[in-house]
Amino acid sequence: MTEQTFAQPTAAALAKYIDHTILRPEATLEQITQLCAEAVRYGFAAVCVNPCNVRQAATLLRGSGVAVATVAGFPLGATLPQVKAYEAEQAILDGATEVDMVISIGALKAGNDSLVRQDIMAVVKAAHRSGAICKVIIEAALLTDEEKVRACRLAKEAGADFVKTSTGFGPSGATVEDVALMRRTVGSDMGVKAAGGIRTLAQAQAMIAAGATRLGTSSGGKIIEEARAAELPST
């Protein structure tokens, strides 16, 4: 008898993992409208849009049950902590309930853990004051394993709700190995978001099996259609 180690979620359950995402600088108002309509149709957890699109998304999604996520210090993480905090505060005023912030990657690599912790904490406090959640993007592709662990520990110490693999603008996106390492580091009481390069059902399932509790992807509709097709009885 083969031991089953992981039960794959149904298509409906899988949709609740997905942050349906457009963060491209050239995204139009029409594309944001389409993104939000798709999020409602498939029942995704959230849309993730740039701060300038938050108000539009929040208006379109009001009462739908789909959250509005946005980004701060994106995509480089190189702005000042107080600027990231202000960006988060303004986005929350516009209707965001989730903020994905990028850490100060250079400070982490330089060993300045105090600055990294302060950077994260500024956004966490801004988010939590308004009941929003904070996800911390570590841009794993730029880090050693030791730095990934340190970044995750600092995010946890700062009170963040999630750690997140990637911006989608780095040299590569999420990997199963990074998701598993991040999950081991933060334990079971924090979320782990895999983002960047997740385009197929198999990739989504692998990330969830490794410990991801949220998936950032612009291919959410395709993934759910794959999952629905896989559920159909064979003829």
| Residues tagged active-site | 100, 164, 193
DSSP 168: S
Q: How many CB atoms lie within 10 A of CB 50?
A: 17
What CA–CA distances, in Å, run from 203 to 24, 128, 227? 22, 32, 12
For the chain, helix (H) and strand (E) counts, in that order, are 10, 8
In 11-148, beta strands by DSSP E: 18-22, 46-49, 67-72, 98-102, 133-137
Question: In angstroms, rounded to a whole number, what is the distance separating the alpha carbons of residues 41 and 192?
Answer: 25
Count CA within 13 A, CB hemisphere, residue 231: 14
Question: In angstroms, rounded to a whole number, what is the distance separating the alpha carbons of residues 77 and 235?
Answer: 51
The angle that helices 220-231 and 29-42 make with each other, rounded to 10 degrees, is 30
The H or E element spanning position 104 is none
